[in-house]
Structure 1
Amino acid sequence: MKLHCEVELVNRHLPTFGLRGRGKGSRAVLSLCRPSDRALSRSQAGPVQLVIYTLKDKTGSRYKANSSNLKNFLAAVRLAHQGCAVETLPLLTVAPLKTSEVEKPKTKMVITSKKDYPLTKNFPYSLEHLQASYCRLARIDMRMLCLKKLKKLDLSHNHIKKLPATIGDLANLQELNLNDNHLETFNEMLCSSTLRKSLQSLDLSQNKIKALPLQFCQLQELIYLKLDDNELIRFPFKIGQLSNLRFLSAARNKLPFLPSDFKKLSLEYLDLFGNAFEQPNLLAPNIQLTVPLTLLEISARAILDYRIPYAPHIVPFHLCRDLDTSKSCDCGKSCLNSFIQATVTMNLHCVAHTVVLVDNMGGTEAPILCYFCSLTCYSQFLDRSTKSNNR
């Protein structure tokens, strides 16, 4: 499709610098083309391009064409070609454009005081990075949740107490900073939202969080996790499922020990300084063994050990929750409600390349929970530990 016409090329940024175009058109050929990449098949071709050929530029200048705007433009051209009355055509009157119409869409906005926070004006829908710190926000502004292109949201240093589940509708959100707020919980609905596939960095430091929900480990794209200066008494039970996690900081909390799943992590940086870790004692276990095993325990172990799929539409919901919190024995098998629990010492260098000292004494060790599915497994573990300590 080609159109021979007079064309004037105008730089959209000129009005922002107080400059004008030369106001003179030149003879050109206007054409709609596909991208010239031969590696792409017709079915894989990218967006339509608007190409302008001039005497000085015979190879043509290419511009991406917005499909919706292009459709409306061509519809108007077609009606004009058919001889429709001018009054019926969707034409604009000749007038200077507003600065906002020619400016590049705003992708970043930084607000660091309450007086600068917009109350009567919406946030630009083109935003990809929004920071609203020190604004005394008591809740997340619902206008922010309409910013579908948002990749980074920084709401640090506010007074936010709860997180709405609708944050999960921000499908492109990669970084969420909620440092220094009044959060007491983390909404479990967010863990099953689109954030599972997008969120890579989460900062919840300097809040009042005591525990993260079991579903937290569904955020499997997490790389950075900051939990410093909270009131944490435990990590998520299945924290080892965060296979992409590389930086974990949970200093100055109230952690008495680490979950057994912690051993599955592979971190580059770990900071657990200033936690109230208990002294491990392998010889004082918590014995929860049931002899003989109940039918529920036998069935649960079989489902877990043979990796049989389960879901609420297969077994009752409460059984699914029990299976989700199953324990892994040192022998590799699973157990549900019948087990022996003990704490042992683990050197944190086993799971992290760089470890911040756990205490002022220079230690890098912390207590970790261990589970044993039988008395035999527990006895064998004691024997191995005794031999290791005697070497």
Structure 2
Amino acid sequence: MKLHCEVEVISRHLPALGLRNRGKGVRAVLSLCQQTPGSLPRPRFRGEPGGQHPACLLISTLKDKRGTRYELKENIEQFFTKFVDEGKATVRLKEPPVDICLSKANSSSLKGFLSAVRLAHRGCDIETPLLTLTPVKTSEFEKFKTKMVITSKKDYPLSKNFPYSLEHLQTSYCGLVRVDMRMLCLKNLRKLDLSHNHIKKLPATIGDLVHLQELNLNDNHLESFSVALCQSTLQQSLRSLDLSKNKIKALPVQFCQLQELTDLKLDDNELIRFPFKMGQLKNLRFLSAARNKLPFLPSEFKNLSLEYLDLFGNTFEQPKVLPDIMLQAPLTLLESSARTVLYNSRIPYDPGIIPFHLCQDLGTAKTCVCGRFCLNSFIQGTATMNLHSVAHTVVLVDNMGGTEAPIISYFCSLACYVNSSDMLN
């Protein structure tokens, strides 16, 4: 039985000597081995019942392929497994007095390996055949690859898994029609490039890649970006997203929950609108959505602070002279309640408190120019905005050299509309 991970062996005598450990693990192969009579360090182990000798733990590194051996039988003081689901654990030995700290391991493999180590500590039989004490081959350490680039079908692995330690995986021009579920087991993945394939739908389990920072889906057949992904751990990790050259018509309003996004590419899609809460992407610095079908920009677009903006080749319409008036008098109970809840941020709400459809309504509320909110009672007007007001560098909107685009504004009352009428001139 073997386990591939990073290992740091810490002596508990170091603090008493005024020394500190290195604080960094090294890539290693852990093997649960059968000790041979010639390898037993102490005579008391000879003649185990049934001809069996106690198992030992062999830690081998690229610099020390022969490895360092540690006895296990009745020699483990404590297991630390609080973070085993993250591929981390520590085994504290009695003799020598060291802590063997494991990290970046496959969580399921780590659990199985620790179970076998427990059995060895108790002197019980281990179902998995034990290995012999032999040096580890160099090829074993190839499983520690952190980057893999595949750019053709013939190189795509069909019969073997991806190295668990991958942090950067690119599989382009491989003809993939769906995301390979084996990729979703790569818990250390930080960059996933699936560009130039035929993927039509993204599994929600991509959101389980808790360290994923860059996702490239350029040139696929995607028609949507699911709400589940917007509400996954990608909210905390995703920095760069490339959805260019797909068939996406709209992004869900929940897309704006990806608060850590700094770079977003949406070129060459079929977008007819941006999420109207676009302004919530406070960290966004680079936005490209050229050659789409955007007629207007949402009102909250003016809250962005970009370094680079490209909206060339969209079908922007001329602002309307007259606004669309959808005011209700008097306000419905739903409208009045929604405005109160949204304006007072101290009032919590979730599906456990109010019906789910009401949560959806509150989540799609529009923001008035005065900062208040409106649900179904509002005035909608359009105006022209110079894109340099939200971006340092602006690619021309059209071949005529323009840098202006129409923007939708909402007004919660006639008074707000009258007070802001100069915006629409």
Q: TM class by shorter-chain length?
A: 0.7 to 0.9
Secondary structure of 2:144's counterpart equals coil
- The equivalences for 1:239-278 within 5 A come to 239-278=278-317
Q: Cα 1:323–1:115, aligned 2, differ >3 Å: closer, same or farther?
A: same
Match in the other structure for 2:192: 153
CA distance in 2 between counterparts of 1:106 and 1:349 reads 44
One-letter code aligned to 1:366: A
- 1:365 and 2:344 aligned: no
Q: Cα 1:195–1:31, aligned 2, differ >3 Å: closer, same or farther?
A: closer
- The equivalences for 1:312-331 within 5 A come to 312-331=351-370
- The equivalences for 1:13-162 within 5 A come to 32-33=11-12, 64=25, 81=42, 83-85=44-46, 87-90=52-55, 93-102=132-141, 105-162=144-201
* 1:300 aligned residue (313, 329, 338): 338
Shift of residue 303, structure 1, vs aligned partner: 1.3
Shift of residue 313, structure 1, vs aligned partner: 1.7
CA distance in 1 between counterparts of 2:12 and 2:271 reads 59
- 1:174 and 2:153 aligned: no
* 1:163 aligned residue (186, 202, 213): 202
Shift of residue 365, structure 1, vs aligned partner: 0.7
Q: Is the 8 A contact 2:311 2:396 kept in 1?
A: yes
Match in the other structure for 1:236: 275
- C-alpha distance after superposition, 1:369-389 (max 9, x if no partner): 10111112212222x348xx7
Q: Is the 8 A contact 1:80 1:89 kept in 2?
A: no
- 1:217 and 2:182 aligned: no
Q: Is the 8 A contact 2:187 2:210 kept in 1?
A: yes
Q: Cα 1:81–1:31, aligned 2, differ >3 Å: closer, same or farther?
A: farther
Give the TM-score normalised by the residue count of structure 1.
Answer: 0.78
Q: Cα 1:84–1:324, aligned 2, differ >3 Å: closer, same or farther?
A: same
Secondary structure of 2:45's counterpart equals coil
Shift of residue 128, structure 1, vs aligned partner: 0.6
Match in the other structure for 1:13: none
Q: Is the 8 A contact 1:349 1:355 kept in 2?
A: yes
One-letter code aligned to 1:305: Y
Q: Cα 1:380–1:65, aligned 2, differ >3 Å: closer, same or farther?
A: closer
Q: Cα 1:157–1:299, aligned 2, differ >3 Å: closer, same or farther?
A: same
CA distance in 2 between counterparts of 1:34 and 1:233 reads 66
Match in the other structure for 2:413: 374
Shift of residue 266, structure 1, vs aligned partner: 1.0
Secondary structure of 1:354's counterpart equals strand
CA distance in 2 between counterparts of 1:354 and 1:337 reads 36
Give the TM-score normalised by the residue count of structure 2.
Answer: 0.72
Q: Is the 8 A contact 2:167 2:190 kept in 1?
A: yes
Q: Is the 8 A contact 2:28 2:141 kept in 1?
A: no
Shift of residue 327, structure 1, vs aligned partner: 1.5
Q: Cα 1:67–1:131, aligned 2, differ >3 Å: closer, same or farther?
A: closer
CA distance in 2 between counterparts of 1:65 and 1:244 reads 35
Match in the other structure for 1:339: 378
RMSD, aligned CA = 3.0
One-letter code aligned to 2:280: Q
Q: Cα 1:194–1:82, aligned 2, differ >3 Å: closer, same or farther?
A: farther
Match in the other structure for 2:59: none
CA distance in 2 between counterparts of 1:374 and 1:326 reads 15
Match in the other structure for 2:387: 348
Shift of residue 102, structure 1, vs aligned partner: 4.5
Secondary structure of 2:44's counterpart equals coil
One-letter code aligned to 1:32: S
- C-alpha distance after superposition, 1:233-266 (max 9, x if no partner): 0111211111111101000000010111111111
CA distance in 1 between counterparts of 2:244 and 2:238 reads 17
CA distance in 1 between counterparts of 2:25 and 2:379 reads 65
One-letter code aligned to 2:55: P
Q: Is the 8 A contact 2:309 2:395 kept in 1?
A: yes
Q: Is the 8 A contact 2:384 2:405 kept in 1?
A: yes
Structure 1 residue runs of 5 or longer lacking an equivalent are 1-29, 50-61
- C-alpha distance after superposition, 1:178-231 (max 9, x if no partner): 000011111211111111111110000000000111211111111110000000
Match in the other structure for 2:227: 188
Q: Cα 1:339–1:82, aligned 2, differ >3 Å: closer, same or farther?
A: farther
- Point out the structure with the larger strand share: 2
Match in the other structure for 1:284: 322
- C-alpha distance after superposition, 1:120-141 (max 9, x if no partner): 1111111111111001111111
Q: Cα 1:324–1:82, aligned 2, differ >3 Å: closer, same or farther?
A: farther
One-letter code aligned to 2:174: C
Q: Cα 1:164–1:122, aligned 2, differ >3 Å: closer, same or farther?
A: same
Q: Cα 1:312–1:35, aligned 2, differ >3 Å: closer, same or farther?
A: farther
Shift of residue 68, structure 1, vs aligned partner: 11
CA distance in 2 between counterparts of 1:295 and 1:93 reads 76
Shift of residue 94, structure 1, vs aligned partner: 4.6
CA distance in 2 between counterparts of 1:120 and 1:233 reads 42
Structure 2 residue runs of 5 or longer lacking an equivalent are 1-8, 57-130
Where has structure 1 moved over 6 Å in runs of 4 or more?
Answer: 65-68
One-letter code aligned to 1:156: S
